[in-house]
């Protein structure tokens, strides 16, 4: 490692340098070298100002934008520099330091600095353990002071119609697909795409390519294989092949149960499907869940219980992830309580504007003694249709679901229900990550993916979004997809 004028001159695009540096910083954050000054740091730096200018370029000839000047109490950095480098040219060679945020992992750990290198979180450390000013000479380092704000893991949504949904009111009622900026403005850094009622004009091929596009644009994206009906479509001829051969396929879904729009599959059909999901998950190293849309039919969760009973427990209750269980009336909510208390997991659809069913459900369930909230997740059903039917199945009205409902649900739980933030956060971070066996998602710690949100410390409004180490949103800018305006 060479030095010039007391500054590190090695190009940041060197993967080896990043890994060595990350290991060094992680050691410091754990207290191994608390009094060490980083090689190349300017000993004359004081709290009033720091300067750093680096003229190196990355392999793709992209300039490294760096901090020009700063004050300890309020770092001055043109956010535009971060925005300009959040395109294709700023990928695995990025370094970003977030200062003074109140960090929730999702558990609260107090005020910390977070260093992002490449696509990962490489260190979360206290100022008393290691002064951030010792890092300012790192080439290409971006510094962002978020004092007074909250830093939380990026949100995960396991149920999104990213290619659009709907169609129950005829061809004109097909909903539009997701735009990148719409997902970012919802705080979503990991999404799982899904088909619904329509698996004729909507296809898994289209869904797979949409997933690939979102990944190219900077998000983490997965998909469920299948749709409402059974037998369900697949990409390769079978669910097990889909799961083993296609990285993004995480399981079967969304399979309609107890819904007039489903195909009312037999027990044998469902048993084969969940068995394929389970074995496909074992062979591919994935969770292998069967994600079930629960409708308003009187059978509710009974078909799933029947599968568990017929298999005599060989198919565990955690192999299923039923959704919509909080917004289909009191009988289904009661059935869902039993399901969760017996060891099952459940996904709740976040309330849209002027709705309160899931909010009230969470308040009620949160008051139950020893109720396991860690077995619940929330999802938006974003870009899906919002049909409302009468008791005879006649369509009464129609709308489209917003992906921002998860963020609004967490805000409401904290502000209105007075939940601790960490209690609400788990529903959209660590819990769904655990359900899907995503070990690098849903938490903030050394070595996980650099997915995080910066929220206003009072209102919890979204300020910044980072996905895989790249800034996707600031207070004045949101990254857009290729054809978004």
The residues assigned a catalytic role are 381
Q: Is residue 446 classed exposed, middle or buried when 0-12, 13-18 and 19+ CB atoms within 10 A define those classes?
A: middle
Q: CB under 8 Å to 40, separation ≥6 — which residues?
A: 3, 6, 7, 8, 137
C-alpha–C-alpha distance, residues 146 and 454, integer Å: 8
Sign for the CA dihedral angle at 14, 18, 19, 21 comes to positive
**Nearest alpha-carbon partner for 104 in 485, 401, 427, 478:** 427
Greatest pairwise CA separation for the chain in angstroms: 79
Q: Kindly state the helix (H) or strand (E) to which residue 95 belongs, with its residue range.
A: strand 95-104
How many C-beta neighbours within 10 Å does residue 1 have?
12
**Nearest alpha-carbon partner for 225 in 203, 257, 258, 210:** 203
Q: CB under 8 Å to 51, separation ≥6 — which residues?
A: 67, 68, 69, 136
C-alpha–C-alpha distance, residues 448 and 63, integer Å: 27
Copy the structure tokens of residue 352: 């849209």
Helices (H) and strands (E) in the chain, counts: 12, 21
C-alpha–C-alpha distance, residues 190 and 184, integer Å: 10
The DSSP output letter for 154 is: P
Polymer length of the chain: 485
Give yes or no for a cis peptide into 28 (omega within 30° of 0).
Answer: no
Strand partners, 322: 292
Q: Is residue 55 classed exposed, middle or buried when 0-12, 13-18 and 19+ CB atoms within 10 A define those classes?
A: exposed
């Amino acid at each position: 490692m060479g030095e010039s004028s007391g500054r590190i001159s090695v190009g940041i695009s060197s993967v080896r340098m990043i890994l060595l540096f990350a290991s060094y910083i992680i050691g410091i954050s754990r207290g191994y070298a608390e009094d060490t000054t980083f090689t190349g740091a300017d000993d004359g730096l004081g709290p009033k100002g720091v300067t750093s200018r680096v003229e190196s370029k990355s392999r793709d000839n992209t300039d490294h934008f760096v901090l020009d000047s700063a004050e300890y109490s309020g770092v001055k950095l043109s956010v535009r520099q971060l925005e300009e480098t959040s395109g294709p040219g700023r990928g695995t060679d990025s370094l970003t330091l977030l200062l003074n945020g109140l960090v929730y992992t999702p558990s609260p750990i107090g005020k910390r600095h977070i260093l992002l290198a490449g696509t990962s979180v490489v260190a979360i450390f206290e100022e008393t353990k290691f002064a951030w000013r010792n890092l300012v000479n790192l080439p290409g380092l971006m510094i962002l002071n978020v004092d007074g704000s909250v830093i939380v893991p990026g949100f995960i949504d396991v149920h999104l119609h990213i290619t659009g949904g709907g169609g129950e009111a005829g061809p004109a009622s097909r909903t539009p697909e997701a735009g990148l900026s719409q997902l970012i403005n919802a705080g979503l850094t990991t999404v799982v795409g899904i088909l619904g009622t329509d698996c004729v004009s909507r296809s898994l091929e289209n869904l797979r390519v949409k997933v690939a596009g979102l990944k190219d644009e900077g998000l983490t994206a997965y998909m469920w294989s299948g749709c409402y009906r059974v037998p369900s479509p697949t990409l390769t001829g079978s669910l097990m092949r889909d799961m083993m051969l296609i990285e993004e396929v995480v399981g079967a879904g969304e399979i309609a149960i107890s819904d007039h729009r489903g195909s009312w599959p037999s027990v044998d059909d469902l048993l084969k499907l969940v068995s394929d999901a389970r074995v496909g998950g074992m062979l591919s190293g994935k969770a292998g869940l069967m994600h079930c849309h629960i409708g308003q039919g009187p059978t509710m969760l009974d078909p799933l219980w029947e599968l568990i009973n017929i298999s005599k427990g060989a198919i565990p209750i955690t192999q299923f992830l039923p959704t919509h269980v909080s917004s289909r009336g009191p009988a289904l909510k009661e059935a869902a309580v039993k399901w969760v208390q017996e060891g099952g997991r459940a996904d709740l659809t976040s309330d849209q504007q002027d709705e309160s069913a899931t909010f009230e459900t969470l308040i009620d369930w949160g008051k139950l003694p020893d109720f396991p909230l860690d077995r619940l997740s929330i999802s938006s059903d974003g870009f899906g249709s919002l049909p409302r039917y009468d008791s005879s199945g006649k369509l009464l009205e129609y709308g489209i679901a917003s992906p921002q409902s998860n963020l609004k649900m967490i805000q409401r739980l904290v502000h209105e229900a007075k939940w601790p933030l960490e209690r609400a956060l788990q529903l959209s971070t660590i819990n769904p990550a655990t359900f899907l066996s995503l070990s690098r998602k849903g938490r903030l710690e050394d070595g996980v993916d650099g997915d995080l949100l910066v929220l206003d410390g009072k209102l919890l409004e979204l300020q910044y979004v980072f996905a895989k180490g790249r800034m996707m949103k600031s207070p004045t800018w949101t990254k857009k997809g290729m054809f978004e305006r």
